[in-house]
Copies of this chain bind each other. A is one copy, B any other.
């Protein structure tokens, strides 16, 4: 499938922004609205590292878009547009390319933004993708990792560790035979199709003191947040919200709470807020239909301390998950 017909027949319909110039030019043109700041992020996926080579490509396209949208969400930004580079193995079938575009189209329809440009490469290597996402926020309101202050409460959205279980289940299905099919499907879904928390992120502007998305495990990402903020943190393991499916897995000892807070791919929001924002956060949780759990407090320094239900400090074997394992 040559690049010209790929663009003309399949990608151009996704280029709904006038500044995309129908993907007919060397570059896209954007005129930022007055008083808005721009938020830029770029995440890449490679087969065998971030997804399985036999994953359906509509699902891979959605994951690619969603991991980038999760970064925008964590910054409180609204999606504007995307630049996409695809590295296709030489033997890629047209139907697989079209399946990828179908997934991308469906998700752009859900989350907004428009395709603005990119590149297509046919190479002697694995499927790989890079997406740059551009979002906007009202000037001066972007949430950062660095604003957490001693005394702030620490929150996460949704439940933690489901995507880790989904990945583990995908790799070792025999270990999870005790789960019902619906439970297995939900965990696999959490791994394959993260839900970017765009509405929650936007609602947190002016409320959260610091915010990031959890991609490499709650423990590692919290340690990054406090490092960026020049602070410390106490995390209460028993306050970390686990799903019904995760609790079943904990009961069957197929996983530990340590694993769940060290696993990757959650794509939930991790944020901090002063104590007087409690009621506002309750309203945000109700309005966005996202559960929020208070899991700890920011301290003046001394790194991250994780305490169990008896107040005893927990040491993790492995604090977080880094794709590719070097």
Contacts and interface: CB of A to CB of B under 8 A. Distances in A.
A168 interface: no
A38 B30 contact: yes
B322 A212 contact: no
A2 B322 contact: yes
Contact of A130 (B30, B44, B124, B139): B44
A326 B1 contact: yes
A39 B31 contact: no
A132 B144 CA distance: 22
Interface in A34-86: 34, 37-50, 71-72, 74-75, 77, 81, 83-85
Contacts of A116: 40
A284 interface: no
Interface in A112-142: 116-119, 121-126, 128, 130, 132, 134-135, 139, 142
Contacts of A212: 25-26
A4 to B, nearest CB: 9
A109 interface: no
Contact of A128 (B83, B121, B132, B323): B121
A28 to B, nearest CB: 5
Contact of A34 (B29, B34, B135, B326): B34
Contacts of A134: 40
Given A29-B142, A130-B44, A49 B123 contact: yes
A24 interface: yes
B26 A123 contact: no
B322 A117 contact: no
Interface string A133-159: 011000100101110000000000000
A311 interface: no
Contacts of A87: 44, 46, 87, 128
12 contacts: A25-B144, A27-B40, A27-B135, A29-B39, A29-B40, A29-B75, A30-B39, A32-B38, A44-B87, A44-B119, A48-B125, A49-B123
Interface of A: 1-3, 21, 24-32, 34, 37-50, 71-72, 74-75, 77, 81, 83-85, 87, 90, 116-119, 121-126, 128, 130, 132, 134-135, 139, 142, 144-146, 212-213, 228, 322-326
